[in-house]
Structure 1
Amino acid sequence: MKEMKAYLVVSNETKNLATVREFVLNTLKEAGAPASCARQVVLAVDEAVSNIIRHAYKEFSSGTRTIDITVLTRGRCVEVILRDSGKEFDPATYQDPDIKEHIRQRKKYGLGLFLIRKVMDEVKYVFKSGVENELRMVKYINAEEES
């Protein structure tokens, strides 16, 4: 896979999710990432940005804050870094949902972090007090996906 670094800034509006998905997909296509890897990364980024808009920026008006998105590709590794200045989130307080119960109750939301952790190989969250949230997600491409 070609080494690349791409950067995008969007405002905290759900209408920007399509732009984010397209940006990530096009970056990974240009880098030569396998389609299966690209789909998983796009899903994770879409869920993460949705969570930032709905939760971290919940108290802010739509369009008044930004989300910085960096996509890095090198070797067999895709790394996505998301930064925002919204409300802090402590992933240690999160428990994976009971999927059967979630489906039984026909819930529409609540699977974002669960899905992110399932499709990405590494997920790391850092909060810099009073400054920003940073979410780093890494996906490794295995040899079977490259062929």
Structure 2
Amino acid sequence: MSRRAARSPRPVASKKTQGVCPCGLPEPYADCCGRFHRGEAAASTAETLMRSRYSAFVKRDEAYLLRTWHPRTRPAALDLDPGMRWSGLEILGTADGSAFHSTGTVTFRASFKGGSLHERSRFERVDGAWVYVDGEFLD
């Protein structure tokens, strides 16, 4: 009978070591916006959709961005800049956009290397799912 050396168990990444989601919430990406990107869940509020879309820009997930864009305003394709480095999302305000509404707005500031984007985005429900309609750039 031969003896094998005992193997150390492979370390399992904990929620703390996985880091927070790009959207700024203190959950790992896989449990936060990743589940929306993978199609395992749908955003329940306009703000949640806004956060997941920001994370999709960070991850360059063009398919998710197009899938969550209102059909009447959705472009045929996106040309995401591979050099764009998003660095943070700040939600400045919301109006409506809950499970009890059919429309909502989210005002946010998204920071990137060299500047920021300040926008008020409009969202609507289509077939029960929140989608991005358009946005107004703010100073």
TM-score, with structure 2 as normaliser = 0.29
Structure with higher Rg: it is 2
Which structure is higher in helix share? 1
The higher relative CO (CA closer than 8 Å, separation ≥ 6) is in 1
TM-score, with structure 1 as normaliser = 0.28
